[in-house]
Structure 1
Amino acid sequence: MSVSGAKRRLSSILKPYPNGDGSKLNTSASQNKVRFEDLSVEAVLQDALDTNRLQRFEQLLATVKEEQFDDGKFQQIFVESKRCVHLLNANFGMLVEALVSVNWLTRNELAREIYKEFVIELLVAHSNYTSLVVSKLVQGFIPKDEDRSGLEYGSPTEVTVRFFEPIHDLIVRLKNVIPMIFDVILVHLRKQYPYFKKPTHVVCGYLHNMLFMTDYSPMFVEELLEIIFNRFLVIDVNAPRNEIEEAEFPEDDEQVFSMEEDLVAGQDAEEEMVMKLPLAETLDCCMERMMGFIEQRASSDNNSEADQMFRILLRLFDNHILPTHNTHHVQFLIFYVCSFKQSYVEYFITYLWKHVCNPNVSTPMRQASVGYIASMLARAKFVSLSLLKSTLHEFSNWVHHYIQQIDSMLSSALKAHMVFYSVCQAIFYVIAFRSRQLTVSSKNLTFLQSLQLSSIVTCHLNPLRVCLPAVATAFAGVTRAHQLAYCHTILERNARRKLATVYKNDSQTPEECLDTFFPFDPYMLKKSSKRIDPIYLQYQASDAEETHAIQSPEGRSRKRYESMAEDVDDFLQESKRPRNDCGAASELGEMHFTYSYGVSPGFHS
């Protein structure tokens, strides 16, 4: 037989290994059983190349696939494979895939070390196997079902952490000899990230390994966190607040028998911290792990490292969280990092305000930026009074300048002035929510007077007309109590106009209600809430508002509408997200509560 004929026959049987990472292993075991002592890897490969006899090669391949050997034989296979790595070209791709696919993590330390040396030698000699090897290594980051106990409540035990360490060690060593390999690693980390509905221990175990990689890959921290943030958002938007509330507080809770109540009372404290909605539990564990990571970096004595972490999180917020509709909890990561330094929250608010003032930014992004600023000012305990006042001053100046520039003859349709109405509602919301701090002294009252609130509410654009009824009534209560502006007449006129529109057209026009977003609504995840609660502000009405509510006719009639208040609260929970139609319920709530101040998203004293 000619040499060329032998080569053609060899290439037709030993199929070249493709450059992709698709699995080509034949899972069926060979019927020909031989002992490994009878096989030498180098001799088998050389025999296949020289004589084109493949029986021994197939026997070796079947032996490696079955993994029916102890640690000693495991070491022998990989020592010999390393010695003849120069022969493992694309024709022997099936054998290479079988070798790198063996379960090496459960072997002894010496066997694991020999495996690592073989992999390093293989990739240095044959770069076409890089994608295959990296794919197998990343698969090792995904916990199995039997690993559930080692990742209870999303936090890995020391045993679990040690189990993953050999993979990280091998990646570090590969980085040292092949610097560009991390680009391939990022591709596979993104591709193999567990499906968001996988069990909590699977998602959290993978997250742990990705965060661990930031310790030895500081140049790729942003890329790693970007992958994580994208997956967090997928979980977050699929675990809305109403589903969490329904799972945590089912309607039949009150029908629990006394024996069941005793059983519930005796449950373990840790079990009580488990979210009843599986996706919420996964998100809770992930947020707790991520906040721990942020605390470690942002509270570092190394200011440059802390500042770098803030800048990375801000870019990720701007690129991924801010444009995403209907998020519920992931945005609290930026809320949390801002609590570490006053300069962070100042920069965050200034950064968003530039978005608002930039006409080249899309209107939805400008609206979302206003919502984040207002919600941060209202809810963050770490926001200083000086920052609160300076931001309100910026808001007020922008609004007054806008009013002066707009012709009074132009249409006051909501779509034509969306950003203006959003900034006005932000002013009303922040003043109503932080009224206790803003009215505590005559100096602060003088500041509020300087905002010329009366000019804003009485302008021809009539911002109270499109605000959430709850925000408008709460703001009216504060301004009435402290004689800053008189809004009740405007609210009453707007309510009559809306009611007339309903009777005339059978439904209110969608343009009559401003899309509203309060991104820092109360945090509902149990385990990670321990980091948010100390820095989160609950609403407290000022003494003057409470006194005014009691003395006023509206306050005396409060009991009459007590049951109605509960219905309005239910409506408010649903209206915290953008809506295109206020619905008849909102008109009813506004009509009854035009003079019943203090009820608003979060306005619960």
Structure 2
Amino acid sequence: MTTETPLARRLASPTEVSTIKPILRKPTPLLGVKRRSDDDDDDASFQLQSSPTKKRKTVMFNESLNVVREISSKSLDEAKNEVRKALEGHARRIDGDYDNLKEVFAPPRVKKYEDDEESNEDEDEDGTKAEDLLVYVVALTSLAPLVGKKCSGLIKNVLRCSWLERDDNFARAYIQLMAALSSVQGSFFAQVLAMMVDKFTAQRGMPMAVKGFPPVDAETRKQRLHLGLRYLLELFPAGGKIILNLVATKFPYTEDSKAVHMEYIDHLLRLKKDRPELERDIMELILARLVKIDVEMTLDLENEEDEDTQAVWKLLQDTKDEDESDAESELSDDEDGEETRRIKIAKSKFETMDAILDLLFSIYSPIFEDPDSPEAVETFQDLLSDFSNVILPNLKSRFTQYLLFKFAMKSHQLMELFIGTLFNIAFESNRPPVVKQAAVGYLASFTARGAQVTSEQVQKISKTFLDYIDHYRATHSGCRGPDVRRYGQYYAYFQGLLYIFCFRWRDLIDRDLLPPSLDWDDPASFIGQDLPWMPWLRSRLQANIASKLNPLKCCSPIIVEEFARLSHHLRLIYIYPQIEKNKNIQLSQFFTGSYATGGALRDSGFEMDTEKWTHLEACFPFDPFQLPVSKRWLDLPNTYMSWKPFALLDRNEDDEDDDDGETGEETEAEENGSIQEDTATDDENNYD
């Protein structure tokens, strides 16, 4: 493992990497927007200041679609004459015919047919006879060059036309109309793309139709929509930047339902398939929005009382095999209750998070079937870039990072890339301290939880941590006392080292020097033995614990307590006197979180009083994965290392407590203070 080498953006060879800059993707700049008034319409329109191409392509409609001459009550020539007269008259500020043309495309809410019952009887949803509207679409396509900037009222009505719910002839004709209008004005092109992206969330699963046409199923509507997008983006390649901006702007809100999110993402994946050059940006967008839901979901539950959190988990468990409509009906019994509303929002985010993550696992998994292939390595490089720029800076992300965890476990090469990236970030001088500390937490958590992380890697990472804390202690010899605000990076490394020890202490032993009487597969046989620890582990830990930096005072109390128990019974180091001494140091101490009730090795965050931060956040990002659907991707052997407490050790401690005359309540409290957890790989009910 080479921790000093920066991560490569692309592999130069299977064994070499080249230096890269972190890929911090800048969001596509919002196109300039200028509001203009339309001489023909009171409604304001938006004129985009930039054009998708410098040189416009001329798009002409293929008039071989002569079927319109046979089925329409109006000939194509008649429609052309009407359209030409309307557009030319509008250019001279004579708007009677132009207003009539707008009415042809207007939806019912802006048409006025109340006094014409006979015409209403034969009209479709857009107020014009079904066969006639197609003729006007063809006519307007052929005369698109006459449509000027002042025709925004007409453009708005045209864009509101129900074109996906008709037949294939109409859909093809409408797409060509959109292409013709896009070739006239850059602003029209942007509006056309916006109309199409709006339909990513407007479409529903049920068949839809307009009068005069048979119902059209959802899949057919999607195919027509993406046929149009593909056609337009092939004609105007620069439109890729515009549509990336649109799909980011119109992405569903985190409070929207799982169905809305999954429908939108399905459209994004279809767009990615049609335009491979947009794949990188689209996948990054999906991941970024997933992280946003992840963080909000975590914060929602942290801000709630335990009862509300448990209600969410219970509801997920009770309804995971039920129909979604039935599940929603259970929540509607107390719609006016604020508590119920919060639970519904939290449940919705959980389900959305679970579904999106499950989808991403299914997308990436085939790529990593051969984890050392160039495609797999390049894809992992992209995930590492997104991790560095999107996941890592969001310190409350709880589940998204498991994409990296799962696929890093696939090969030694991918593990090295992930570990190398984390070390690079942890040591980068231009990174914010909080991000560098988070990288250390990821390193420790990945080392502790990754079942495929080898003993050699565990020792190298632990040695690097020891080297850092020794160097830091030497350069801060003038320290007056523990201060997590000033020396946070030091405490992060020390706490990470303790965390690694709690899970991987056997990997810190020199196996070649192990007495033959010990059974490597029986951890209990190590208790009370003099073990051959890796060189200088004991002495360097002692030196740092005894220093003025006093890391045991600033690290998470639960992690310190568990390390104290293990290191004492494994005869590494005895730190209880220092822990007792620290009780006399007057630092405000507020500690809450899942640890206190026997949860995973994860604190909910910093606690603060009016004076100072008191303890380092015990945030280890690969604590048990609890999403009920997507956990199936991690429910695999030799992937995730769960916490395995020593039953013998706990029993011995209980015996000692009984000898000292402690009550049953005190014994139970001590048991709850130890590290206990369920993992996503243990059983089906671990998230109850």
- When normalised by structure 2's length, the TM-score is 0.68
* Counterpart position of 1:347: 417
Contact 1:470 1:600 in 2 (8 A): no
Distance 1:317 1:36, change over 3 A: farther
Q: Distance between the aligned counterparts of 1:56 and 1:301, measured in 2?
A: 65
Cα pair 2:436 2:489 within 8 Å, conserved: yes
Q: Which residue of 2 aligns with 1:46?
A: 84
What residue in structure 1 maps to residue 97 of structure 2?
Answer: 56
In the alignment, structure 1 residue 375 sits paired with structure 2 residue 451: no
Residue 166 of structure 1 corresponds to: 224
Q: Residues 13 and 466 from structure 1, CA distance in 2 versus in 1: closer, same or farther, beyond 3 angstroms?
A: closer
Which residue number in structure 1 is paired with residue 189 of structure 2?
Answer: 130
SS in 2 for 1:355: helix
**Residue 525 (structure 1) aligned with residue 637 (structure 2):** no
| Secondary structure of 1:19's aligned partner | strand
1:19 aligns with 47
- Match of residue 338 from structure 1: 408
Partner deviation per Cα, 1:176-223 (whole Å, 9 max, x = no partner): 221110111011111111222122211221112113322233333332
Q: Secondary structure at the match of 1:250?
A: helix
Whole-Å separation in 1 of the counterparts to 2:158 and 2:509: 73
2:583 corresponds to which of 492, 495, 504: 495
Pick one of 346, 349, 355 that aligns with 1:285.
355
- Specify the code of the residue in structure 1 equivalent to 2:580: E
CA contact (8 A) 1:65 1:102 kept: yes
Report the AA paired with residue 536 of structure 1.
Y
Whole-Å separation in 1 of the counterparts to 2:655 and 2:296: 46
In the TM superposition, residue 98 of structure 1 has moved relative to its aligned partner by: 1.8
Match of 1:78 in 2: 137
Query: Is structure 2 residue 142 aligned with structure 1 residue 37?
Result: no
2:493 to 419, 423, 427: 423
Alignment map for 1:151-550 (pairs within 5 Å):
160-240=218-298, 241-242=301-302, 246-247=307-308, 249-250=310-311, 268=322, 277-299=347-369, 303-407=373-477, 410-435=480-505, 438=508, 441=511, 443=513, 446-452=532-538, 453-498=541-586, 510-534=612-636, 535-541=639-645, 545=649, 549=653
Q: Partners of 1:278 and 1:480 in 2: how far apart? A: 46
Q: Which runs of 5+ in 1 are unaligned?
A: 1-10, 22-34, 151-157, 257-262, 570-597
- Mapped to 1, the partners of 2:251 and 2:456 lie a distance apart of 44
- For 1:142, what is the secondary structure of its paired residue? helix
**Is 2:663 the counterpart of 1:599?**
no
CA deviation string 1:16-50 (max 9, x = no partner) = 964249xxxxxxxxxxxxx9738944322322355
Gaps of 5+ in 2: 1-37, 50-71, 108-125, 209-215, 329-342, 515-530, 591-608, 683-688
Per the alignment, do residues 159 and 428 of structure 1 end up closer, same or farther by CA in structure 2, a change over 3 Å counting?
farther
The match for 1:574 is none
- 1:17–1:90 contact (8 Å) kept in structure 2: no
Cα distance change on mapping 1:148 and 1:381 into 2, 3 Å = farther
Q: 1:530 to 1:551 in 2, by over 3 A?
A: same
Instruction: State the secondary structure of the residue aligned to 1:189.
Output: helix
| Cα displacement string for residues 538-584 of structure 1 (whole angstroms, at most 9, x for unaligned residues) | 20135774576466558985945244247x66xxxxxxxxxxxxxxx
Q: Cα deviations across residues 97-140 of structure 1 (Å, max 9, x unaligned)?
A: 32232121122222212222222222223333111001001011
Distance 1:81 1:125 in 2: 12
Aligned-partner residue type, residue 460 of structure 1: K
Amino acid at match of 2:147: L
Instruction: Give yes or no for the alignment of 1:89 onto 2:126.
Output: no
For the Cα contact (< 8 Å) 1:44–1:57, is it kept in 2?
Answer: no
1:62 partner amino acid:
E
2-structure distance, mates of 1:101, 1:509: 59
- Counterpart amino acid of residue 249 in structure 1: Q
Q: Indicate the larger mover: 379-388 or 403-412.
A: 403-412
Query: CA contact under 8 A between 1:481 and 1:548: conserved in structure 2?
Result: no
Question: Structure 1 residues 187 and 113 mapped into 2: Cα distance closer, same or farther (>3 Å)?
Answer: same
Counterpart CA distance in 1 for 2:635 and 2:458 is 20
Task: Calculate percent identity across the aligned residue pairs.
Answer: 20
Distance 1:367 1:14 in 2: 58
Partner of 1:579: none
Distance of aligned partners of 1:187 and 1:266 in 2 relative to their CA distance in 1, 3 Å threshold: closer
- Does 1:112 find its partner at 2:150? no
1:417–1:36: structure 2 CA closer, same or farther, 3 Å change rule? farther
- Structure 1 residues 349, 264: CA separation in 2 closer, same or farther (over 3 Å shift)? closer
User: Structure 2 vs 1, CA of residues 364 and 265 (structure 1 numbering), >3 Å: closer, same or farther?
Assistant: closer
Does the CA contact (< 8 Å) of 1:285 and 1:527 recur in 2?
Answer: yes
Counterpart contact for 1:71–1:111, Cα < 8 Å: no
- Judge conservation of contact 1:377–1:388 (CA < 8 Å) in 2: yes
Instruction: Name the structure 2 match of 1:25.
Output: none
Structure 1 pair 88–163 and aligned structure 2 pair: CA distance change class (3 A):
same
> What is the CA–CA distance in structure 1 between the aligned matches of 2:677 and 2:549, rounded to whole Å?
24
Stretch of structure 1 that moved more, 424-433 or 333-342: 333-342
Q: 1:405 to 1:49 in 2, by over 3 A?
A: closer
Q: Residue 331 of structure 2 aligns with which residue?
A: none
Separation in 2, partners of 1:208, 1:467? 44
Separation of aligned partners in 2, 1:244 and 1:75: 59
SS at match of 2:429: coil
